[in-house]
Every structure is written in structure tokens, then in C-alpha cells.
């Protein structure tokens, strides 16, 4: 009988890049104002780049002050008609947008990854499906608003100005637009400077869905366009971004009577107790800090470990970090992609250096990083003093700082010892402890035995310097209406 050798086989994943052909980009994208794509009148045209390769993807029109005013005028002109539409009809438009997002899901995911650097795995499985889910969820609310406000009378705010960040470009646009439209407002949305493309594809979808002209206006631009928008004659401002800019906006709007919600930074605590399921906690820590390269406002950037299991968790976490696949964001097996911009990379690098100088022990994964583009290896800091900058300030990158605690009370005290209060994670197999600790945490979202889970029906928002107002679920409708008796 012939025998066959069982050779010593080695096995690695072959490159599995998502095809760029499935997402053909136009050479240039204009401003979406009053239902049409228009060239800027006093703005500029800039190139948007792929942060993983630094190659130019397309030209994008940036709005100038006159363009911002034109967009607000268009929204104002559409406001009465949109508000007067039967709520069921408004809901149908939202359903249509949701379905079109699903139809173009693959294209949207690829463009999100190209423009922002996040792994295709995430844009495909998280960003795009969740964006559609938000429109579906709020489409259902449109004709049921009386149940969201306890039977009180309500009317739309009117025109809302919305400024979204670069970390979840399409998803944040969905978070902002869906509740605003469901409640009968018209909107001017400004995507982030470095990631305008998926918002402009959403503008195409809005057009295709046949929304009345001017109901949704999408105007890319830099910080000055955002500043102009929030200071325009709008009835409500919704901003997601840095705490510094949020404070400026709040100052500018003080006394104007305009509505404002802010979803700002965070330095969220992820607390692991000794009685947690440790292997799953490690997965949650990974998800908490390396999801989207840590460019997540609610990232679990402060890891608090009970001293009795700290060594074991750190060992497991490090082993897991070494298995993260860092590289080409379009590869379907990539876990950690590119840093969103040169500017953000510089900020992360500066913070990490400061952390080292202030005595924390740095451990960064050794992995081959591409030559072009912006990259930062997954990193943890041990022996982090509570006053160290990396324990206090938001890094917004793939960097977790680790400290220990001895008792639940100490864990709560340390977790709450922050200017921020956006999110927290609690890991324990003991249900009573989980609820007791969660109830004491001053954070808008507390995840138990999981992290970075988002759902359109759940409210999201912060305490303290993480902002105010809630997005998602019925709570997310309230900021977009004026309530009567």
C-alpha cells in the first residue's frame, strides 16, 4: 500500500483584500445643498486621502461661510413643508434611506475603510449595519412620537446644525440625521475634514430616496465651516467631537436660546474583578481599546484590574495583543487598521512619549507596519500613576493604561476620578456586584461583561465633560423637539 507523507505544514492566512472595484469613486464630490450637488461659492476644493497609503482618493468641495449660509437657508426653506408632512410619510423616507444604505452596504463599507483607515471587518460588520439600523429604528418612531414624550405636545426645533467627527463618519451622520428627520426637523450636517466621503454617499442616497430638496444638506469642510454652522441661524446644534471644541460651542450658544447637545471625549474605565470570566474579559479589553484603533470616544482606555488577578490578566492581554493583525485595512483579516490622519498620529505619539517620561512602563507590540500611511502599534502602559497624563487625558489611539485596585469601593472611586464620564465596563460573574458597581459609576453607558456594544434603541451620552444630551432610542428624540404641556 502506498503511503503519503504528512509533511510539516505551516499555515497562515493569504491576503484577503476586499475589492476596490466594488466602490468606484468619483473624481470629485461637491456640496449637497438644497437637493443638488453644487460647487462651493466661497469655499475650496481639497483632496481626501487614504490614511493607510497616503494616496489621494478624490477631490472634495469644502464649504466657505457663504456656502454654510446657503445650506442653512435651504434647510430653513424646507422646514415648514417637512414638518407639515404626515409623520407616517416622514417615516417612509427614513425607511427608504435605511434600505438604500443596506443596498449599498458593500460600497459604503469599502469607502469608509479607504477614507478613514478602519478595518473592513469593522466598517462591514459594525459601521454600515448600525447606520442602517439607526434609520430603521427612527423610521419606526416617526409616527409614534407621542409615546416617546409621555403624551406631551411636541413640535420640531426647526433647522438643526450637526457636526460629526472622523472616527465613525457614516454612523455618526446616521445618529444625527435619523432622529432629527423623524421628529420633523431639517438638517445641515458637516462631516469631518479627513473623512467626508461616506457622508457624501449618504447625500446621494438622500437624493435617491427622493427627500424634498433642502431637508438634508451635507457640507464637508474644516473646523471653520463647523464653527460657522454652529453660529448660524439654526434652532439646535448637535456636536460630537472634542471637549475643547464642545466648550467653545457652548460658550458661543450661551443665551441664544438654541438647543444644544454635546457628545465629547472620554477616558472610560474598564473594571475587571477577580471573579470575572477572565478570557472573555480579555476579549472585552481588546474590543474596548483596539476597536477602530482606539479612535472611539467611549474607548475603555483606563483598565482597572483587581490586584489578585492583575498579573494573569496582563499576561493574557499581552498574548492576545501579540495576535492582533495590524495592517492593510481592506484585508478582511485585519484587526487593527491605520491611524486616521498624520495629525492624530502625532497627537498619539506625543501622549505616549509623555506617558513614558512620567514613569509609566510602555509595552508596544512588535509588528511589521507598512512604510506609507499612518500607523501605531497596539500599546499598553503598566505602572501608570493616577496623575500621569496618559491616565487623565484622552489619547484617542490604540493605547491602554493599566492600574490596579483592591476592593469594589476603590474601583468605583478610581473609575469616577475623571473629568469625563462617557462609558465604563464592569467584568464580574457576580450579578449583584455588577449591578451595585454599575449604579455607582458616573458614566452615561455602563457595559456589563461586554464593551463597545451599540444599539439604536439604547441611549448613548455622557456625564461631566463628556457632554450632555442623549442619542439613540426614545431619549435621542427629545433634543430635537420643543415640548409643550
Partner 1 sequence: MSRSLTPVNRVGVEERAAALGRRSIKTTAKREGIRLATSMIDLTTLEGSDTPGKVRHLCAKAVCPDPSRPELPSCAAVCVYPSLVGVAAAALEGSGVAVASVATGFPAGQTSLKVKVDETREAVAAGASEIDMVISRDAYLRGDDRTVAREIEAVKEACGSAHLKVILETAELPTYAHVRHASELAIAAGADVIKTSTGKASSGATPGVVLVMLEVVRDHFERTGRVVGVKAAGGVSTTKAALHMLVLVKETLGDEWLTPDRFRIGASSLLNDLLMQYAKLDGGHYGRAEDFSKE
Instruction: Point out the residues that are catalytic.
Output: 263
Counts of helices then strands in the chain (DSSP H, E): 16, 22
Distances (CA, A) of 212 to 41, 66, 82, 217, 268: 23, 22, 8, 11, 41
Distances (CA, A) of 301 to 42, 115, 268, 280, 281: 41, 25, 6, 17, 14
Task: State which residue, 41 or 450, has the beta carbon closest to partner 1.
Answer: 450
Which CB atom, from 3 or from 439, has the smaller least distance to partner 1?
3
With 0-12 CB in 10 A as exposed, 13-18 as middle and 19+ as buried, what is 86? exposed
Provide the grid cell at 272: 475587571
Q: What minimum distance in Å lies between the beta carbon of 288 and partner 1?
A: 12
Grid cell digits, residue 62: 469644502
Rounded to a whole number of angstroms, the minimum distance from the CB of residue 332 to partner 1 is 4
The CB-of-260 to partner 1 minimum distance in angstroms stands at 37
Indicate if the alpha-carbon torsion angle 337, 343, 345, 347 is positive or negative. negative
Point out which residues bind partner 1 (CB under 8 A): 1-14, 16, 121, 125, 275-277, 279-281, 283-284, 315, 323, 332-333, 429, 449-450
Q: Which is nearer to partner 1, 173 or 434 (CB)?
A: 434
Q: Is the dihedral of CA 97, 98, 102, 108 positive or negative?
A: positive
CA pair distance 31, 17, nearest whole angstrom: 31
Considering beta carbons, is residue 250 or 449 the nearer one to partner 1? 449
Nearest CB to partner 1, comparing residues 10 and 251 = 10
CA–CA dist 161, 145 (Å, integer): 21
Instruction: Tell me the closest approach of the beta carbon of residue 196 to partner 1, in angstroms.
Output: 29
Shortest approach of partner 1 to residue 125 CB, angstroms?
8
CB-based contact 446:425 (threshold 8 Å): yes
Q: List beta partners, residue 381.
A: 362, 401
Amino acid at each position: 500500500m502506498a503511503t503519503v507523507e504528512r509533511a510539516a505544514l505551516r499555515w497562515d492566512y493569504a491576503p484577503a483584500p476586499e475589492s476596490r472595484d466594488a466602490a468606484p469613486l468619483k473624481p470629485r464630490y461637491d456640496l449637497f445643498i438644497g437637493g443638488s450637488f453644487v460647487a462651493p461659492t466661497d469655499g475650496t476644493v481639497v483632496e481626501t486621502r487614504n490614511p493607510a497609503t497616503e494616496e489621494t482618493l478624490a477631490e472634495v468641495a469644502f464649504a466657505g461661510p457663504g456656502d454654510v449660509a446657503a445650506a442653512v437657508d435651504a434647510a430653513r426653506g424646507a422646514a415648514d413643508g417637512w414638518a407639515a408632512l404626515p409623520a407616517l410619510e416622514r417615516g417612509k423616507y427614513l425607511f427608504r434611506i435605511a434600505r438604500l444604505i443596506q443596498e449599498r452596504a458593500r460600497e459604503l463599507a469599502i469607502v469608509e475603510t479607504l477614507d478613514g483607515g478602519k478595518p473592513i471587518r469593522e466598517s462591514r460588520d459594525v459601521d454600515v449595519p448600525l447606520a442602517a439600523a439607526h434609520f430603521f429604528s427612527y423610521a419606526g418612531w416617526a409616527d409614534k412620537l407621542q409615546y416617546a414624550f409621555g403624551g406631551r405636545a411636541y413640535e420640531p426645533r426647526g433647522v438643526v446644525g450637526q457636526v460629526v467627527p472622523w472616527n465613525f463618519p457614516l454612523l455618526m451622520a446616521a445618529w444625527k440625521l435619523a432622529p432629527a428627520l423623524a421628529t420633523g426637523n431639517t438638517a445641515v450636517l458637516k462631516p469631518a475634514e479627513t473623512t467626508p466621503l461616506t457622508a457624501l454617499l449618504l447625500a446621494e442616497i438622500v437624493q435617491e430616496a427622493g427627500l424634498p430638496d433642502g431637508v438634508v444638506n451635507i457640507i464637508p469642510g474644516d473646523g471653520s465651516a463647523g464653527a460657522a454652522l454652529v453660529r448660524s441661524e439654526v434652532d439646535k446644534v448637535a456636536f460630537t467631537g472634542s471637549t475643547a471644541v464642545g466648550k467653545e460651542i457652548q460658550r458661543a450658544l450661551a443665551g441664544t436660546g438654541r438647543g444644544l447637545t454635546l457628545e465629547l471625549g472620554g477616558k472610560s474605565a474598564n473594571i475587571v474583578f477577580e471573579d470575572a470570566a477572565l478570557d472573555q474579559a480579555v476579549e472585552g479589553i481588546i474590543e474596548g481599546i483596539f476597536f477602530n484603533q482606539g479612535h472611539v470616544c467611549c474607548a475603555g482606555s483606563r483598565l482597572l484590574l483587581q490586584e489578585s488577578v492583575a498579573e494573569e490578566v496582563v499576561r493574557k492581554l499581552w498574548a492576545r495583543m501579540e495576535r492582533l493583525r495590524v495592517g492593510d485595512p481592506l484585508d478582511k483579516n485585519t484587526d487593527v487598521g491605520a491611524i486616521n490622519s498624520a495629525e492624530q498620529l502625532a497627537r498619539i505619539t506625543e501622549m505616549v512619549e509623555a506617558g513614558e517620561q512620567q514613569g509609566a512602563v510602555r509595552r508596544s507590540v512588535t509588528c511589521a507596519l507598512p512604510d506609507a500611511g499612518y500607523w501605531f502599534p497596539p500599546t499598553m502602559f503598566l505602572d501608570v500613576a493616577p496623575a500621569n497624563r496618559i491616565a487623565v487625558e484622552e489619547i484617542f489611539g490604540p493605547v491602554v493604561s493599566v492600574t490596579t485596585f483592591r476592593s469594589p469601593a476603590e474601583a468605583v472611586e478610581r473609575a469616577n476620578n475623571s473629568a469625563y464620564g462617557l462609558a465604563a465596563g464592569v467584568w464580574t460573574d457576580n450579578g449583584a456586584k455588577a449591578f451595585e458597581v454599575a449604579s455607582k459609576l458616573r458614566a452615561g453607558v455602563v457595559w456589563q461583561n461586554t464593551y463597545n456594544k451599540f444599539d439604536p434603541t439604547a441611549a448613548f451620552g455622557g456625564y461631566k465633560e463628556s457632554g450632555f444630551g442623549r442619542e439613540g432610542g426614545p431619549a435621542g428624540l427629545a433634543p430635537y423637539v420643543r415640548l409643550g404641556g
